[in-house]
Chain A
Amino acid sequence: GEDVEQSLFLSVREGDSSVINCTYTDSSSTYLYWYKQEPGAGLQLLTYIFSNMDMKQDQRLTVLLNKKDKHLSLRIADTQTGDSAIYFCAETSGNTGKLIFGQGTTLQVKP
């Protein structure tokens, strides 16, 4: 079945770049998403990439998609303490708006 995998934890220093990785199994996914969850809050859509693209940039965020390897990454440039959160990767499933989420990567930013 469909599956999305992420590493559980990443720690970086403030000002460094963070790279959060994700692998997925469904090659028919049309969109892949990154969500951010701050402590005590729901999920907030950060960015998404269409499956026929290999890169998308949005200010400090860069999404890279390697469709052959089914690998997605989120790079955060100049990471700030306010970027500390859980980041979820997700893929679409079918045409009902269902998403399959990874386990989430906790990003810890040290001052």
Chain B
Amino acid sequence: DVKVTQSSRYLVKRTGEKVFLECVQDMDHENMFWYRQDPGLGLRLIYFSYDVKMKEKGDIPEGYSVSREKKERFSLILESASTNQTSMYLCASSLRVAGGYEQYFGPGTRLTVT
């Protein structure tokens, strides 16, 4: 059974703080993703990684960075948190199947920046 875990379900941080969100998958997937989810906007891709130490910007990378030092772990970093980064953050990893991909999601971290 594929497992994607995220370090926290709920997090409250102050404006200007550095925030780390951790994601771990146990299925040796190469691709990992960070999304943020906001009502009415669906999921928007922040960054993704297709291999260790590799990263690519998604649609909304501003204000975020990522780190992938080990295959199973993909971290999202908010260098200086702002109130407009209050959101639900979802991590996913993907497995290639017969020409397509299946993405598996973690439970999400609801971040509030005050």
Contacts and interface: CB of A to CB of B under 8 A. Distances in A.
Interface of A: 4, 6, 8, 30-31, 33, 35, 40-45, 48, 50, 88, 92, 96-99, 101-104
Contacts of B108: 40-42
B42 A97 contact: no
A54 B50 CA distance: 31
A64 to B, nearest CB: 18
A98 B103 CA distance: 9
Interface of B: 4, 31, 33, 35, 40-43, 45, 48, 50, 56, 58, 90, 92, 94, 96, 99-108
A30 B101 CA distance: 10
Contact of B100 (A92, A101, A104): A92
Contact of B43 (A40, A88, A96): A88
Contacts of B45: 98
Contact of B105 (A8, A43, A96, A104): A43
30 contacts: A30-B99, A30-B100, A31-B99, A33-B103, A40-B107, A41-B107, A43-B92, A43-B105, A45-B102, A45-B104, A48-B100, A48-B102, A50-B99, A50-B100, A88-B43, A92-B101, A96-B31, A97-B33, A97-B48, A97-B50, A97-B94, A97-B103, A98-B45, A98-B48, A98-B58, A101-B35, A102-B42, A103-B41, A103-B42, A104-B42
Contacts of A88: 42-43
Give 10 closest A-B pairs by Cβ, nearest first.
A42-B105, A31-B100, A97-B94, A97-B101, A103-B42, A97-B31, A101-B43, A43-B105, A101-B42, A42-B107
Contacts of B101: 31, 92, 97, 99
Contacts of A103: 40-42
Contacts of B31: 96-97
